[in-house]
């Protein structure tokens, strides 16, 4: 059950754009940590447990790789911790690397949530009339990766069922990978041509073509959009007033903990946790209704 996906696509797009912009471009530890925790909680409630466990094996190494890379290549800062090959590894570079990794993983998690919520039909609904060709290309791109993975598993299993590449030698694995990759390239080209021909036959992008849509604005959409607008406005005002300003170089600055800064942090934290709150509320409501049957 994905309660957040039941909202209007325009509201969902506004929400994801707001969170991603703040997470990517606001250099502040509280903002970045809030975006990370919000993304983790949202992923946990909308993804299957097997998918969530599989993602951990990717995001954890990515986090440590990103965190370690920065102090090894950036030697800015005034607080050296130790020297490596004559170059200082500074506290500032180390802390900056950690929060850069937090930002990268947070953005990746939110894009993962975006791909689960903003389906291709929603994307086409939003941009199909104004940018028909671009929206079609982007929609095909967004759905291509999961389709490619599923088809690759099918091809690989089919070849193993036929008795090919049954040995475990390194050369046999390379041959298997190349054969599967060759089949996937042919499948990708054929699939894209079929999709293009199908959309052209349906008159996609022609002037005056009508579009059927089941998306309608309801009171819940207006409420969520208003809440997102207010919380985003508070966060933007804090950014322009310098309440979230934070620097790692040349020396780590103190975190602004004034009353208004805390107000801004709280607003963005609520904004990050909104989907998780909505999902939990709907699940509690669903279990309550089930118990009354």
pLDDT digit string, tens, across residues 106-151: 999 998 888 888 877 777 777 666 666 666 666 666 667 677 777 7
Residue for token pair 């930002």: 103
> Is there a contact between 65 and 108 (Cβ–Cβ < 8 Å)?
no
pLDDT higher than 80, residue 98: yes
Q: Which tops the pLDDT comparison, 254 or 270?
A: 270
- 181 or 231, which is more confident: 231
Q: What is the mean pLDDT of the chain?
A: 82
User: What number is the average pLDDT over the span 76-84?
Assistant: 79
What is the pTM assigned to this prediction? 0.76
Q: What pLDDT is recorded for position 178?
A: 78
Q: What is the pLDDT of residue 176?
A: 74
How many distinct helices (H) and strands (E) make up the chain? 9, 2
pLDDT of residue 189: 80
- Taking CA atoms, 235 is separated from 11, 68, 88, 262, in Å, by 18, 30, 36, 11
The Cβ of residue 203 has, within 10 Å, a number of other Cβ atoms equal to 11
Alpha carbon dihedral 271, 272, 275, 278, in 10-degree steps, equals -60
What pLDDT is attached to residue 224? 92
Tell me: pLDDT of 251 over 70: yes
Residue 51 pLDDT > 80, yes or no? no
């Amino acid at each position: 059950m994905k309660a957040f996906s039941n909202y209007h696509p325009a509201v969902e797009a506004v929400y994801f754009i707001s969170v991603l912009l703040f997470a990517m471009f606001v250099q502040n530890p509280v903002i970045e940590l809030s975006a990370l925790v919000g993304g983790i909680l949202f992923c946990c409630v909308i993804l299957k447990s097997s998918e969530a466990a599989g993602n951990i094996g990717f995001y954890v190494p990515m986090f440590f790789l990103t965190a370690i890379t920065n102090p090894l290549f950036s030697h800015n800062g005034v607080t050296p911790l130790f020297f490596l090959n004559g170059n200082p590894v500074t506290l500032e570079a180390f802390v900056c690397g950690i929060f850069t990794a937090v930002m990268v993983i947070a953005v990746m998690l939110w894009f993962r949530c975006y791909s689960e919520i903003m389906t291709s039909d929603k994307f086409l609904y939003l941009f199909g009339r104004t940018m028909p060709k671009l929206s079609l290309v982007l929609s095909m791109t967004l759905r291509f990766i999961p389709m490619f993975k599923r088809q690759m598993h099918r091809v690989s299993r089919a070849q193993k069922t036929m008795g090919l590449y049954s040995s475990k030698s390194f050369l046999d694995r390379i041959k298997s990978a190349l054969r599967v990759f060759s089949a996937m390239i042919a499948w990708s080209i054929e699939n894209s041509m079929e999709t293009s021909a199908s959309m052209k036959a349906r008159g996609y992008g022609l002037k005056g073509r009508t579009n059927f849509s089941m998306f309608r604005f309801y009171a819940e959409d207006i409420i969520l959009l208003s809440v997102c607008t207010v919380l985003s406005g508070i966060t933007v005002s804090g950014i322009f007033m310098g309440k979230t300003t934070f620097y790692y170089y040349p020396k780590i600055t103190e975190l602004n903990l004034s009353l208004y800064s805390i107000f801004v942090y709280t607003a963005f934290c609520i904004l990050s946790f909104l989907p998780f709150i909505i999902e939990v509320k709907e699940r509690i409501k669903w279990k309550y209704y089930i118990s009354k049957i």
